[in-house]
Amino acid sequence: MSTSQMGLFGEDSALPEGFRYRADLISVDEESRLVTDIEGLPFKEFDFHGYKGKRRVVSFGWRYDFSARSLLKANDIPDFLLSLREKAAIFAEVEPATLQHVLVTEYSEGAGIGWHRDKAEFGDVIGISLVSPCVFRLRRKAGEKWDRVSITAEPRSSYLLRGESRTVWEHSIPGVDALRYSITFRNLREDI
């Protein structure tokens, strides 16, 4: 397994095409205000076809229903997330209004997420890490083996999955060492 930690904007050539990383997308004060607002959200256990994950989630704008295998309308994006959406949009070089889906995830100690690609209904994926770091792993099948790369997603940092990093590579997060929140913004694919 190769491991790489990239520079400010993810220039490392070992990283998948379309993957970008930025440390300190937001300030410590902004993170503190976000966490205060996040703590009051109506989180629910992640449910995947009856399997309850260790993480808790809440969606805004749209939510993906795994039983129905489709997007359903969700509550509007709360005001406290709109300025963060603007920063995520600038980082990803898209219009803020195109980021119509927000998933806020609470990872308690030991919680992670297995290997996956985000649902095909979504386009770009922009994640922001809060409170504690995590290992963000990527892999793709290469014949009989896997190409792998990992970075440490620090608190207040952001990553972008676009292009091959979004469609060819899978990603996962092993169990975290301490409470962590993530805020994931997604746009919808126009060709579906």
Total domains, the chain: 1
Q: pLDDT at position 63, please?
A: 82
What's the pLDDT tens digit per position in 154-181? 999 999 999 999 999 999 999 999 999 9
Task: Identify the CA nearest to 185 among candidates 106, 54, 87, 74.
Answer: 87
15 within some domain: no
Q: Which domain holds residue 89?
A: 20-188
* Close Cβ partners of 179 (under 8 Å, ≥ 6 residues apart): 106, 107, 108, 109, 131, 132
102 within some domain: yes
3 within some domain: no
* Residue reference for tokens 């952001």: 158
Q: Is the dihedral of CA 30, 61, 49, 150 positive or negative?
A: negative
Transcribe 119-178 into DSSP letters.
-TTEEEEEEEEESS-EEEEEEEEETTEEEEEEEEE-TT-EEEE-THHHHT-EEEEPPPSS
Q: Is 92 helix (H, G, I), strand (E, B) or coil?
A: helix
Q: Is the pLDDT of residue 11 over 60?
A: no
What's the pLDDT tens digit per position in 83-96? 999 999 999 999 99
Q: pLDDT at position 158, please?
A: 98
**Where is pLDDT greater, at 7 or 63?**
63
7 within some domain: no
Q: pLDDT at position 13, please?
A: 55
What's the pLDDT tens digit per position in 36-74? 999 999 999 876 655 667 899 999 998 876 666 677 789
Question: How far is residue 165's CA from residue 53's CA, in Å, rounded to a whole number?
Answer: 24
147 within some domain: yes
6 within some domain: no
135: CATH? 2.60.120.590
Q: pLDDT at position 50, please?
A: 59
In this prediction, residue 2 has a pLDDT band, given cuts at 50, 70 and 90, of: very low
Q: pLDDT at position 66, please?
A: 61
4 within some domain: no
